[in-house]
Structure 1
Amino acid sequence: MIQRLLLFSIFCLGLLFSTNQSFAQDNTDYDRLKYRKWRVTLFPPLSTNWTNAPDYTARYSINILGGYHGGLDGGEIGGLINYNKYYAHGFQLAGLVNATGGDMAGINIAGGINLSKDEMSGMQFSGLANISGNDLEGIQGSGLFNIAGDNSSGLQFAGIGNIARGDIEGLQGSGIINAAWGDISGLQAAGVANIAREDVEGLQAAGVLNFAGSDISGLQAAGAANIAFGDIEGLMAAGGVNIARQNASGLFAAGLLNIANDVEGLVFSGGANIAKNLEGVQFASLLNFSEKATGVQIGLINIAKEFEGVPIGFVSLYGNGRKNMDVRFSDGGFTDIGLTLGTYRVYNSAIFGYNTLLDRDVYRIGLAVGLEKNINDSFQNWKNESMYVNQEFSVTHQFEEEWTRKLNLIYSYKFLLGKRFGSGFSLYGGPTFNAQISRVSGSEDYAWYSLWSPEWKGRDYRFWVGFTAGIRLFKQKAIPKFKDEFDNWDIDW
């Protein structure tokens, strides 16, 4: 008996996945099925309908070991297998398999598999898989897979994956993967990946990867990467990389890298932002790199062929920007050399200095961010194209004899008046407002005097007004007045 039942199970599954087209024809013959309220089967053909079971449908069906019938319009219980040739509509419970050669709808519970040749809908639970040859929708839970030959939608949970040859839509959770040959949309969580050959839209969380063959939009979080062969739009967070072969817009955060053709929005990276065009605010611990960029860039290194905006970095190198060297002397005896890069309006300066007046070796390194203005912006009655004003904020770390990270900082605001002599040389000077915070003995020698010198929690504070004078070398040019520059932006004053 057991041997015959196993042969019957194999026969049913073979029929279900065969390429024979008779099922498609048979599914049009629902109305030809004969109806009986009850049927009981030990195993085929030992049933109340004997060998004619495929010609009958019933409201109540009991399959002690397994049953093979035409259809179901009610409830069915099987010890191992419930198999309906044309359709199964209603409640089913089987120790191993609920299967149909047509569509399945209702509540189906199987220790192994719920299996349908066409659509499957309703509430299904199985120990292994819910598998449909066409659409799969409803509330589904399986130990391994929910698999659809076309679309998959609804509330689905699977130990391994939710997989569809069409679209995936709805609320889905899987231990490993949500995958679709079409679009993915909805709320999805996967231990490893959400993968779609087309668009991805919605809220997605994956331990490793969110991937789309086309666009990605919505809120996405991945332990490693968000990757799209189309556009990326929305809020994306990845422990590793956000990659778009086309455009990226929105808020992006990546532990290592953001890569796109065009990037627009607020972008953060622990490593680098790389794009052909960037527009917005970009922050990278290491590098912002692009052909053309507009907005604000903050990074250790900012590089672009063309840039308009505000750069903040140790090196901000632009093809259309300034490339100057500054040599300056300030109160307290420091002589500094600055590599000054950025735009002609906003610049960054990497500072390297040495105190030439002290009888011991005192060095410093630092960073300055400056704004250059037309002289007429600060002094309305002073019109001279060769004159300019620099307002600059800098922070420097002082160390004696050899490098140390011990707290010893000077913050400075400088108001500098300058004059260009030709396009490659200028002189400038002006007052400096300084604040020092230090834990180093002897650091008071860096200032000739102090207006106020409090001490708090082991730190020495000093405040004073000093001066800075210097020269700037290499290409420079006149900056238009702010109003004239903004007028070119069509701003209504």
Structure 2
Amino acid sequence: MNSFKSNSKLILLLTLLFAVFESQGQNREDQSEAEVKERPFQISFVPGFGTSKGPKEGYTNQFSLNILVGYEHSFDGAEFGILYNINKANISGAQFAGFGNTVGGNVKGAQFSGFLNTVNGKVRGMQYAGFLNVTAQEVQGAQFAGYMNLADSINGVQGAGLLNVSKKSIKGAQLAGLGNWAQNVQGVQIGGLVNRARHVKGTQIGLINIADTVERGVTVGLINIVKKGKLQFALEHNEVIDFNIAFRSGTNRLYSVLFVGSQAKEDDYLWTYGGGFGTEFKLKKNWNSSVELTTQSINPEGDHYDEINLLNRLSWNFGYQFANHLAFSAGPVLNIYVTEVYDQESGKYGNDIDMGSFYNETFSGTNVKMWVGYNVSIKF
């Protein structure tokens, strides 16, 4: 906590310092490109103490070294700062700082810092920061940060330990430990928890994916909320579990399925939960067909097996859409039951849930059974 407060105070101090220098520069006319001169190097301890008098001289440095904080017009080559580098105009080359880099114009090249990189213009190249990258306009290249990346738009890659934000669009990839946000996505969003976009032409991969529309692409996650897509609850029955509540979300091209259920037999009560994926396609008028692959854990009343006890189901359903929020579907199912649960008294594996298997084999303490069943659904 003390370290965080110290960093916050330092950022505030540097921001105020930059504002003072900027306000001083605004009292004079900006130099035209013709007036910008070049020099081979400059060395400063802090602004005003060194071989340079700051940005008002209008020099583009080929090599710049700032012992603590530097404030220069621009550079075309390389700049090193133990603490912080500030450039008023465009830079070209590589910028290195222990804490942060700030550029008032465009960047063509790369920025490397232990904490922060900020650019008021465009970036053509890469930004690497231990904590945060901020670009006010477009990034053509890549942003990588330990915590967060912010940009107006991205043509390339954003990679962050926590969060990526592209105000307008991303053409390429967003990769984040927690989540990604963009208006328009042409490419891929991969987030550890959530991805958010308005229009997607590509792929979203995360536990939760949110979009208004998905064109020529898919959302892959446990929950996929697509405004113009599939968001459907269902009551279901099959030969194994009497009563299931299912939730489907995503698009017809690819959607996720989550469900819980119970078997109400008095002598053999079972409860189950699971999930999977499916795809649905139109047949004719209100008729449709879907294929789903799911897996579920089968458990006894009031308990949960420590051993593997999974029922995997490949279903092929045919349905009829009565209204916008009312549909019926049914179809055959191929069941593949894999279990390590073994009853020494009876000598049997797993639960008695099959309808008569056509395959029953045991391998190294794991029993596999296969049979054909059915599934019936009312969808809302």
Task: State the TM bucket, normalised to the shorter chain.
Answer: 0.7 to 0.9
Look at both structures and tell me which one has the larger radius of gyration over its CA atoms: 1
AA of the residue aligned to 2:316? F
How far is 1:455 from its partner? 2.8
2:105 corresponds in structure 1 to: 182
- Counterpart of 2:51 in 1: which secondary structure? strand
Matched residue, 1:380: none
**Which residue identity does 1:222 align to in structure 2?**
A
CA distance in 2, matches of 1:419, 1:114: 78
Conservation of the 8 A alpha-carbon contact between 2:95 and 2:101: yes
Instruction: Show the counterpart of 2:237.
Output: 328
Cα-to-partner distance string for 1:81-110 (whole Å, 9 max, x where unaligned) = xxxxxxxxxxxxxxxxxxxxx988457778
Q: Give the CA deviation at 1:249.
A: 1.9
Structure 1 counterpart of 2:8: none
| Alpha-carbon offset, residue 432 of structure 1 | 1.8
When the two chains are superposed, the root-mean-square deviation of aligned CA atoms in Å is 3.3
Identify the match of residue 462 of structure 1 among 354, 363, 368: 368
1:257 matched residue in structure 2: 179
Q: Quote the Cα distance in structure 1 between the aligned partners of 2:43 and 2:134.
A: 33
Check conservation: 2:197, 2:210, Cα contact below 8 A: yes
State how many pairs are aligned. Answer: 338
Alignment-mate amino acid for residue 370 of structure 1: G
Contact persistence 1:164–1:179 (CA under 8 A): yes
Aligned match of 1:139: 63
| 2:338 aligns with one of 389, 414, 436 | 436
State the Cα distance separating 1:265 from its structure 2 match: 0.9
Check 1:444–1:258 CA distance in 2 against 1; reply closer, same or farther (3 A cut).
same
Change over 3 Å in CA distance of 1:168–1:437 after alignment to 2: farther
**Aligned equivalents of 1:358 and 1:434: distance in 2?**
25
2:137 alignment partner, SS class: coil
Alignment pair present for 1:203 and 2:126: yes
**Aligned counterpart, 1:369:** 277
Give the distance between the partners of 2:125 and 2:295, measured in 1 at CA.
44
Asked if the contact 1:372–1:391 (Cα under 8 Å) also holds between the matched residues in 2, the reply is: yes
Q: 1:421 to 1:155 in 2, by over 3 A?
A: closer
Question: Could you tell me how far apart the structure 1 residues matched to 2:269 and 2:103 are?
Answer: 67
Summarize deviations over 1:101-147 as a string: whole Å, max 9, x none: x98845777899532358xxxxxxxxxxxx87322422333422343
**Given that residues 223 and 256 in structure 2 are in contact (C-alpha distance below 8 angstroms), is that contact kept between their aligned partners in structure 1?**
no
Q: Is 1:160 equivalent to 2:67 in the alignment?
A: no
Query: CA 1:438/1:164 → structure 2, altered by over 3 Å: closer, same or farther?
Result: same
User: CA contact under 8 A between 1:140 and 1:157: conserved in structure 2?
Assistant: yes
Q: What is the deviation of 1:257?
A: 2.3
Q: Quick one: distance in 2 between partners of 1:235 and 1:110?
A: 34
Corresponding position of 2:304: 404
2:378 is the alignment partner of 1:472:
yes
Structure 1 position 389, deviation (Å):
3.6
Contact 1:326 1:340 in 2 (8 A): no
Residue pair 2:41, 2:64 contacting (<8 A) in 1 also: no
Which residue in the other structure is 1:360 paired with?
268
CA pair 140-117 structure 1, distance change in 2 beyond 3 A: closer
- Residue aligning to 1:115: 51
Distance 1:161 1:403, change over 3 A: farther
The letter for the 1-side match of 2:191 is S
Residue aligning to 1:238:
160
Who is 1:94 aligned against? none
1:291 aligned residue: 212
Deviation at 1:212, TM superposition (A): 1.2
Give, as a single letter, the amino acid of the residue that structure 2 aligns with 1:454.
Answer: T
What CA distance in whole angstroms lies between the structure 1 residues aligned with 2:330 and 2:42? 84
Structure 1 residues 329 and 189, CA gap change in structure 2 (3 angstroms): same
| CA deviation vs aligned residue, 1:349-400 (integer Å, no higher than 9, x gap) | 322222244723211011142333456xxxxxxxx75654432211111111
User: 1:138–1:414: structure 2 CA closer, same or farther, 3 Å change rule?
Assistant: same
> Could you say which residue in structure 2 is the equivalent of 1:38?
none
What is the 5 A alignment of 1:12-23? Answer: none
Q: 1:482 maps to which residue?
A: none
The alignment's TM-score, normalised by the length of structure 2, stands at 0.77
Q: Distance in 1 between matches of 2:342 and 2:59?
A: 73
Name the structure 1 match of 2:245.
Answer: 337
Is 1:194 matched up with 2:117? yes
- Kindly indicate whether the alpha-carbon contact (under 8 Å) linking 1:324 and 1:339 is maintained by their aligned counterparts in 2: yes
Match of 1:219 in 2: 142
Q: CA deviation at 1:422?
A: 4.3
Instruction: Assess, with a 3 A threshold, how the Cα gap between structure 1 residues 341 and 139 changes in structure 2: closer, same or farther.
Output: closer
In structure 1, the partner of 2:10 is none
Provide the C-alpha distance between the structure 2 equivalents of 1:435 and 1:394, rounded to a whole number of angstroms.
12
CA–CA distance in structure 2, aligned partners of residues 108 and 389 of structure 1: 71
Distance 2:40 2:75 in 1: 16
Residues 233, 439 of structure 1: alpha-carbon distance in 2 compared, 3 angstrom cutoff: farther
Cα–Cα, structure 1 residues 373 and 289, in superposed 2: closer, same or farther, change >3 Å?
Answer: closer
Matching residue's letter, 1:144: L
Q: Which residue of 1 aligns with 2:199?
A: 277
- Partner of 1:453: helix, strand, or coil? strand
Aligned mate of 1:446, from 353, 357, 372: 353
Cα pair 2:179 2:192 within 8 Å, conserved:
yes
- How many angstroms apart in 1 are the aligned matches of 2:247 and 2:192? 25
Unaligned stretches of 5+ in structure 2?
Answer: 1-23, 344-348
Q: Is the 8 A contact 2:100 2:114 kept in 1?
A: yes
User: Structure 2 vs 1, CA of residues 430 and 108 (structure 1 numbering), >3 Å: closer, same or farther?
Assistant: closer
TM-score (norm 1): 0.61
Aligned partner letter, 2:182: A
Report % sequence identity: 23
**One-letter identity of the residue aligned with 1:114:** G
Provide the secondary structure at the position in 2 that maps to 1:291.
strand
Q: CA 1:203 to 1:440, structure 2 compared with 1: closer, same or farther past 3 Å?
A: farther
Tell me which amino acid in the other structure corresponds to 1:267.
Answer: Q
1:300 aligns with 2:222: yes
